[in-house]
Structure 1
């Protein structure tokens, strides 16, 4: 049967039913991020159900599923000036390095282009080589660094080019 050969992997817009899964994925991934960055306090680890609900209402929130199980998520806020900010990008530790993050980012790119976004930004720990490599591979570059959160964070930017008509 042909349906046996369909992809077991999907990325879609999140809904309220996904909030507990998003919170679990975010918590797990950001505990690892906390260990890797050496930072003591992360806002991502202090989120409430209502914080995630508000993000679903006001941002593009995506959920990745593998074999029907939630394994990754991301949130993107699109601003009136056609820029965007990506946050809470998280993939379950046991599901990392198998293409889920790339698939999530590919859908983010498609949505941003469709919305006419000219550039997307994010912050990540500048000393976490695996994350910096991942984002470089997705077309981001480091614009600047700061220590405002108690560790060296890099501001990464990806620019979207307008397609020639």
Structure 2
């Protein structure tokens, strides 16, 4: 398809170290309203990063890349420090990234583990998994106690000296 002057495109470039040596090896024409593009229209990529902040309805993975909680996979509420896998596309213009989806990079289900310590609203499971009541999904009426045996879903996260964070917890009946 012939290109027109002023038409918006995404180009895959290759070449030397100076600008004059670059050449486009693949060009994709963009529609006029690029904000409404479907993920399938643009070439998607996957990024692995950790959450630097969560504010209201927005998740930040650095100062320039952020996304709405609306696109996060079901049953996952990101928390500062969590490792995420983000599917995104690059749009024309500097720092113009469109995020399509986000999910935990590492996720495991553990059965019958013990709460080993509690400090106010925070705690530790099996001396190795951090949790905070601020982000933990628990059954109505349940309040975690030291030495409770629980089933948990954990995600990879950077939390002080811990590399896992519990995101949901259910007590195991005696």
TM-score between both structures, scaled by the size of structure 2: 0.26
Q: Give the structure with higher Rg (CA).
A: 2
Higher strand share: 2
Higher helix share: 1
Relative contact order higher in (CA < 8 Å, ≥ 6 apart):
1
TM-score between both structures, scaled by the size of structure 1: 0.27
